[in-house]
Chains A and B, each alone.
Chain A
């Protein structure tokens, strides 16, 4: 008798908890992949594809699924650190295939050389190049992420990546970098 009661009680409990779990899984279902979303928020959104993925979101999803965390060249060490923190893994040095230089840059079209082929326009992941067939193209500097993707397709090599100049607006109080003016 007591065995039957025990089985019954346990069975009821199991059913109860099962129902609870089932309910929870439906009720609190998480839409999308929150980890990928969070990772995406950490990435610099240059959409440069240097990681081997077509944009930051795909890379974020890949990292969420176990891809190496050290492939984001524009983000550099800082981004790797943040991702490592989020993922709870060791910080890794930046992938050797990428250049470590992640100083801010923008693309610049040497306008007299531009032949109006529109190839850079097609390459730009954020539509930051304006121009049309046979017309000179130009970069919308504010929208340019400095991803470098427009440089390779240009048939006449008229796109350069130029570093963003330091102005009084974005100067970061680096007193050591003040040019020493020699007098006398």
Chain B
């Protein structure tokens, strides 16, 4: 079998399917020299000009930059740096419309040139053979070279391929009508391009180098032949003119007869393709140390007086180039970036030239009256003439794709290999029904991509949702398990019969009862009745009972914090209510010392607070309690503040501490401006004169702090009502409650060390529970031992340490 090279030397090429012959219109520009670059007033340099990620900008607004200076660096191989095309000042870094069909904006660096065009320091390297491959690759990467044919694939990725390369194909086909940028570049700079090819040869060491060029570029072919005369493994392949022979896959098929399998890069076949402009840029970068800051742009079209090729600095606004070519200000302006087949309309003429811009087309209205404008579509029904399928270079069935695209049948579209469409536009070009086929495909492609992303996201969300459900389930099981254990431990302790155990027992039982009471919210009325009975019993039975009550208060708070999570168990609750009643008397006998102890504990807490914050205000228990009441009152209804402050001066002093709590509560409350708040306020106002009755309200406040169930406030009040009598009966109850809170506040202050965020809720769930539980521990310890201060100190010191142990107890009390 004849080898590919032999065949090519014979001048016979394979053919790709389809293809069209649109009017070339290259005569407009192909015989004029490339005009030299001019510096516009302002350069707009998009940070991302290629396929891949944008680099990180390393200049600031106001920086003076030199020509060729790097503006963004890159950390991933798929990002490409950008450089200053001339010297000047960075005047802004902002979102500007970029050359993209959507006309959307992306981050751009705005450079105002100083017209001095001062170069940065360059290191000219006349012989690239002196450099190692890595150095050359680095130079290419640092020069910011990405494919200049249209797609903008980072060049250093392409040339650093590890596969064995059989063919290096230089794409000089330039099949799009009008565009002559590569043609002119070849005519004028073929030695430099050849240097670039040699560098690529050095890097990739391909077996053969094929230069694919369409036969309509006689001058360029001659120049190339002259330049490559003495190199024997470079073959200039003059291929028949047919659109889209310059497509990567099509050119590969023409030259090598191979098809690139769908979804893989040509390098897997041992083929690398580079555009001639890219070769030129590589040579410039490696030899002259010039980054990619300018390129040849064909500015063509019959709306221009002198269409020509121009060396344009990257970032030059399109309008600057068209005015350089004498743009006739016609009424219906239409500027196309790229060729007439694959280019896109520009929304205005301040779009910058980027690394992939090879053409600016300013057609007259007669010349290109695009039938595919969104406003003047002449689209009629498809008559299945099949001309589109005949010209499709990817051998797709455009008409069937079109139906599926209209029906949004994504499965069918993928089955018809929509993603193999190269969007060359041949189908739409020949369509007698003037259907904008390519546009339908683009929309469909975008939708499918979007749908895939959504599917992935939905899948992820599902997994996360399931995981969360499992976690919650696990936690629930663990909690039940823990409760069981704790109940067993408690039972064991109860059986010991010591006084401490007894008191604990009673406290625990009481707490349990409260928890259950809370749980049984559905049957609240019934509970209320029962608890009322209990309280009455308490009151009448013992004068010192309130101490016990205060304990239950603590437990109650904890219970409330936790209760929501637990399922109703009415029967158990009634049972424990009985237990509570039974335990009432023994525990109450020990209540008196408890009160004292609590005071000590509070003192300690206050001292701690004072030590931490140097605020000597909170001296006495009652003062603090008042302060708290006051704070609460203030939040709820400001007019009560006077009342409260009159009642206690020192309370107002404590306000600066309490204000934080108050503010947090306020935030929480502000959201739910319900009538509950109003009624609460009224109640608070009414109750503030009576210290003994404030505890329900404070409880409410605490409740909202810990659980922030503002909506449940009314409910909470209702729930508290039965325990009301208990507190009314003894002032200590209220004291106890406030102590707890103050301790909590003190600890919180300690934990925070600095009273920074006064806006935030100071009484967080965990801290308040912890402190409550600490104080409870203290209480219990006191009952057992006599050294109150000592115990309190221990408690205070080892708060964190004891957390584990006390949480056990907490659970027990639950």
From residue B206, how far is it (CB to closest CB) to chain A in Å?
34
Q: Rank and list the top 5 A-B pairs by shortest CB-CB distance, nearest first.
A: A45-B458, A181-B348, A126-B464, A172-B446, A45-B461
Are A128 and B446 in contact, with the CB atoms below 8 A? no
Q: Given A133-B765, A168-B102, A173–B442 Cβ distance below 8 Å? A: yes
B347 with A47: CB separation less than 8 A: no
| Contact between chains at A115 and B667 (CB < 8 Å) | yes
B465 sits at the interface (CB 8 A): yes
Contact B465 A168 (CB under 8 A): no
12 other contacts beyond A154-B671, A170-B450, with CB at 8 A cut-off?
A115-B760, A125-B468, A126-B461, A127-B464, A127-B467, A133-B766, A134-B757, A166-B102, A168-B98, A174-B443, A176-B374, A178-B103
Of the candidates A134, A157, A172, the one whose C-beta lies within 8 Å of that of B447 is A172
Write out the residue numbers on chain B whose beta carbons fall within 8 Å of the beta carbon of A166: 102, 104
Interface of B is mostly: helix
A-facing residues in B489-517 (Cβ within 8 Å): none
Q: Is A3 an interface residue (CB 8 A)?
A: no
Residue A4 CB within 8 A of the other chain: no
Interface on chain A toward B: helix, strand, loop, or mixed SS? loop
Which A residues between 107 and 163 are near B, CB-CB below 8 angstroms?
115-117, 119, 125-128, 133-134, 143, 145, 154-157
* Pick from B446, B459, B468, B710: contact of A173, CB under 8 Å: B446
Contact yes or no, B461 A47, CB < 8 A:
yes
A28 within 8 A of B: no
Residue in A117, A167, A180 with the greatest tally of chain B CB atoms within 10 Å: A117
Query: Is B653 interfacial (CB 8 A cutoff)?
Result: no
B449: nearest residue on chain A (CB-CB)?
Answer: A170
Tell yes or no: B100 within 8 A of A by CB.
yes
Interface residues of B in 742-793 (CB under 8 A from A): 757, 759-761, 764-766
The complex places the Cα of A101 from the Cα of B101 at a distance, in Å, of 27
- CB pair B464–A128 under 8 Å, yes or no, is yes
A115 touches B468 (CB 8 A): no
B446 to chain A, nearest CB (A): 4
A44 adjacent to B454 (CB under 8 Å):
yes
- Is residue B181 contacting chain A, with contact meaning CB distance below 8 A? no
**B667 surroundings in chain A (CB, below 8 A):** 115, 155-156
Q: Can you identify 9 A-B contacts, CB atoms within 8 angstroms? A: A56-B462, A115-B760, A125-B468, A126-B461, A143-B461, A156-B670, A167-B106, A168-B100, A183-B348
Most buried by B among A127, A167, A173, A183: A173
How far does the Cβ of B375 sit from chain A's closest Cβ, in whole Å?
Answer: 9
A88 at the interface (CB under 8 A from B): no
How many Å from the CB of B601 to the closest CB on chain A?
25
Q: Does B759 lie within 8 Å of A115, measured CB to CB?
A: yes
Q: Is B406 close to A, CB under 8 A? A: no
* In the complex, A179 has a CB within 8 A of chain B: yes
Task: Report whether B104 and A167 are in contact in the complex, using a CB–CB cutoff of 8 Å.
Answer: yes
Q: Which residues from chain A contact B469 at a C-beta distance below 8 Å?
A: 55
**Contact size class for A?**
35 or more
Closest partner residue, chain A, to B672 (CB atom): A155
Q: Which residues of B contact A180 (CB under 8 A)?
A: 347
Does B202 make an interface contact (CB < 8 A)?
no
Decide if A70 is an interface residue (CB 8 Å cutoff).
Answer: no
With A and B bound together, what is the CA distance between A119 and B667 in angstroms?
A: 14
Chain B residues whose CB sits within 8 angstroms of the CB of A128 once the complex forms = 464
Size of the B side of the interface (Cβ < 8 Å), in residues, is: 47
When C-beta atoms are compared, the residue in chain B nearest to A156 turns out to be: B667
Flag whether B460 is at the interface (Cβ < 8 A).
yes
Q: How far is the CA of A36 from the CA of B543 in the complex (A)?
A: 64
Contacts of B347 in A (CB 8 A): 178-181
Minimal beta-carbon separation of A56 from chain B (angstroms):
7
Q: Output the least CB separation between B300 and chain A (Å).
A: 22
Binding site for A on B (CB under 8 A): 98, 100-104, 106, 345, 347-349, 374, 439, 442-443, 446-447, 450, 453-454, 457-462, 464-469, 664, 667-668, 670-672, 708, 710, 757, 759-761, 764-766
Among A43, A115, A119, A176, chain B packs the most CB atoms within 10 A around the CB of A115
Contact call A116/B760, Cβ cutoff below 8 A: yes
CA distance A117 to B671 in the complex (A): 13
Asked if B671 and A157 sit within 8 Å, CB to CB, the answer is yes
B467 contact set on A, CB distance < 8 A: 127
- Decide: A127 near B671, CB < 8 A? Known: A117-B708, A168-B106: no
A175 within 8 A of B: yes
Q: With the chains together, A45 CA to B467 CA distance in Å? A: 14
Q: A133-B766, A168-B104, A179-B347 are in contact. Are A45 and B459 (CB under 8 A)?
A: yes
Rounded to whole angstroms, the CA-CA distance of A116 and B766 in the bound complex is: 13
A129 → chain B, closest Cβ, in Å?
11
A45 touches B664 (CB 8 A): no
B764 touches A45 (CB 8 A): no
Which residues does chain B contribute within 8 Å of A50, judged by CB atoms? none
Task: List A contacts of B462 (CB < 8 A).
Answer: 40, 45, 47, 56-57
User: Within 8 Å CB of B349, what residues of A?
Assistant: 183
Expressed in whole angstroms, the minimum distance between the Cβ of B662 and any Cβ of chain A is 13
- Report the minimum CB–CB distance from A117 to chain B (whole Å): 6
The distance in angstroms between the C-alpha atoms of A157 and B669, with both chains bound, is 12
CA distance A136 to B460 in the complex (A): 25
A155 touches B459 (CB 8 A): no
Rounded to whole Å, the gap between the CB of A22 and the closest CB of chain B is: 35
| B448 → chain A closest CB, angstroms | 10
Chain B residues, CB < 8 A from A55: 465, 469
Cα(A145)–Cα(B456), bound, Å: 12
Provide the bound-state CA to CA distance between A91 and B443, in Å: 25
- Is there contact, CB below 8 Å, between B766 and A143? no
Looking across the interface, which residue of chain B has its beta carbon closest to that of A119?
B708
A155 adjacent to B668 (CB under 8 Å) = yes
- Chain B positions within 8 Å of A167 at CB level: 104, 106
Q: Which residues of B contact A156 (CB under 8 A)?
A: 667-668, 670-671
What chain B residues lie within 8 Å of A145 (beta carbons)? 457-458, 461
Report A119 CB to chain B, min CB distance, Å: 7
What A residues does B447 contact at CB under 8 A? 172
Q: Chain A: which residue is nearest B350 at the CB level?
A: A181
A135 to chain B minimum Cβ distance, whole angstroms, is 10
- State A34–B713 Cα separation when bound (angstroms): 46
Contacts of A174 in B (CB 8 A): 443
The CA of A117 and the CA of B765, in the complex, are separated in Å by 9
- Known contacts A115-B760, A178-B102; is A173 also within 8 Å of B439 by CB? yes
Chain A: which residue is nearest B752 at the CB level? A134
